């Protein structure tokens, strides 16, 4: 299992220190990386099938899961977000503009997640609210069905943002998303720049204590992803949240307005 840790975390990890100091390159040590789940398959299915491993993951959280089971440890807190400054609330003010932004994937039970984050704001005090997260590892057909169902639950006042990858294939995929969500407010945006650049305006508001989060079962996974970003195993929720925030704040960070397609 891989035990290397970045930064000062390596100071308390013997294997990580040995590898960091060049032991592997010098032939002194050999690195074996055996994640508990790889490409959707369990390492030892007779003892720990995928279903059991997923239960363990939900119980111990993303940080310990990545370190103990996936061999991909990261610091307790990433360099960008201070998620402890997000206040968890039981209700959010009504009447604010709201956006649901999606980060999409299309592999069943493995790989990246599809995530749709609903955010509203700002209010008169300049505060923003994270209202809901829909997330899963779905195939194309199920993913599209869930996206449309989510739009129906959100209502017609909520703007849905879907991604547009570079190139003609990205344009075609964006148009397909728009057709899937016909009848609802939807825009396709082409993002540019790195993930950290796009998330930077959001991080400033999170770290200043200007973001609230509606209490829900999804809170833990999102907070953990924010905490480890950009070093964590997944960043789908952060990507979607950053897109929603940039649209609400009008920052335009990483968004090319000329490439917006409107249903």
Are 106 and 62 in the same domain? no
Asked whether residue 127 falls in the same domain as residue 16, the answer is no
Distance between CA atoms of residues 186 and 175, nearest Å: 10
Average pLDDT over residues 176-191: 88
**Number of domains the chain is built from:** 2
Q: Indicate whether 127 pLDDT > 80.
A: yes
Q: Which residue has the higher pLDDT, 130 or 166?
A: 130
168 and 231 share a domain?
yes
Residues 63 and 94 in one domain: no
Instruction: Determine the average pLDDT of the residues in 203-229.
Output: 94
pLDDT above 90: percentage of residues in the chain: 53
Which residue range forms the structural domain that includes residue 103?
83-262
- Whether residue 230 is preceded by a cis peptide bond, meaning omega within 30 degrees of 0, is yes
Pick 234 or 150 by higher pLDDT. 150
Radius of gyration of the chain (CA): 20
Please say if the pLDDT value at position 2 is more than 50.
no
Instruction: Please check whether residue 1 lies inside any domain of the structure.
Output: no
Least confident of 20-29, 86-95, 98-107: 20-29
Using CA atoms, how far apart are residues 50 and 40, in angstroms rounded to an integer?
A: 8
Burial class (CB in 10 A: 0-12, 13-18, 19+), 124: exposed
Rounded Cα gap, residues 112 and 155, in angstroms = 27
The verdict on 47 and 162 lying in the same domain is no
Q: For all residues of the chain together, what is the average pLDDT? A: 82
Q: Is residue 39 located within the same domain as residue 99?
A: no
Q: What is the pTM (predicted TM-score) of this model? A: 0.68
């Amino acid at each position: 299992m891989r035990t290397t840790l970045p930064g000062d975390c390596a100071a308390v990890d013997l294997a990580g220190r040995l590898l960091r100091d060049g032991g592997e390159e010098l032939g002194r040590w050999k690195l074996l990386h055996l994640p508990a789940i790889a490409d959707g398959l369990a390492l030892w299915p007779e003892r720990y099938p995928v279903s059991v491993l997923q239960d363990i993951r939900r119980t111990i959280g993303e940080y310990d899961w990545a370190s103990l089971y996936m061999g991909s440890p990261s610091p307790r807190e990433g360099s960008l977000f201070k998620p402890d400054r997000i206040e968890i609330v039981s209700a959010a003010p009504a009447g604010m503009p709201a956006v649901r932004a999606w980060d999409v994937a299309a592999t069943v039970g493995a790989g990246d997640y599809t995530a749709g984050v609903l955010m509203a704001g700002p209010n008169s005090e300049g505060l923003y609210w994270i209202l809901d997260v829909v997330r899963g590892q779905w195939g194309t057909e199920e993913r599209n069905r869930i996206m449309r169902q989510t739009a129906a639950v959100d209502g017609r006042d909520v703007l849905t943002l879907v991604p547009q990858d570079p190139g003609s294939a990205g344009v075609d995929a964006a148009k397909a998303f728009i057709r899937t969500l016909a009848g609802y407010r939807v825009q396709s945006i082409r993002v540019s720049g790195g993930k950290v650049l796009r998330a930077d305006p959001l991080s400033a508001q999170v770290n200043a204590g200007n973001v609230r989060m509606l209490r829900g079962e999804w809170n833990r996974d999102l907070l953990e992803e924010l905490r480890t970003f950009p070093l964590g195993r997944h960043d789908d929720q952060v990507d979607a949240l950053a897109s929603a925030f940039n649209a609400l704040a009008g920052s335009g960070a990483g968004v090319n307005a000329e490439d917006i397609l409107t249903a």
